[in-house]
A = this chain, B = another copy of it.
Amino acid sequence: MTITQAEENYLKAIFKISEKSDKPALTNAISAVMQTTAASVTDMLKRLAEKDLISYEKYKGVQLTEEGNRLATALIRKHRLWEVFLTEKLGFAWDEVHELAEQLEHVQGNDLVGRLDAFLGHPKFDPHGDPIPDADGRWAYRKQSPLATLQAGDHGVVTGVEDHSSAFLQYLDQLGLGLGAGIELIERFPYDQSVRIRTSDNREMVLSEKVSQNLYIKTG
Cα of A115 to Cα of B100 in the assembled complex, Å: 13
A34 within 8 A of B: no
Residues of B close to A100: CB separation below 8 A = 107, 109-110, 112
- Across the interface, do A90 and B103 meet the contact criterion of CB distance under 8 Å? no
Report copies per complex. Answer: 2
Cα of A92 to Cα of B104 in the assembled complex, Å: 18
- Residue on B with the closest CB to A114? B90
Question: How many residues of A sit at the interface, in one of the four size bands?
Answer: 10 to 19
- Across the interface, do A109 and B103 meet the contact criterion of CB distance under 8 Å? yes
| Contact residues, A71-114 vs B (CB, 8 A) | 89-92, 96, 99-100, 103-104, 106-110, 112
Known: A96-B110, A110-B96. A115 touches B91 (CB 8 A): yes
A108 touches which of B103, B107, B119 (Cβ 8 Å): B103
A177 within 8 A of B: no
- Across the interface, do A92 and B107 meet the contact criterion of CB distance under 8 Å? no
| Contact residues, A120-156 vs B (CB, 8 A) | none
Residues of B close to A106: CB separation below 8 A = 103
A116 within 8 A of B: yes
Residues of B close to A89: CB separation below 8 A = 119
A87 CB → nearest B CB, Å: 11
- Residue on B with the closest CB to A112? B100
Chain A interfacial positions (CB closer than 8 Å to B): 89-92, 96, 99-100, 103-104, 106-110, 112, 115-116, 119
Q: Supply 8 further A-B pairs (C-beta < 8 A) apart from A99-B110, A104-B104.
A: A92-B110, A92-B115, A96-B110, A100-B107, A100-B109, A100-B112, A103-B106, A103-B109
- In the assembled complex, 7 residue pairs joining A and B whose CB atoms fall closer than 8 Å, in A order, are A90-B112, A92-B115, A96-B110, A100-B107, A103-B106, A103-B107, A103-B108
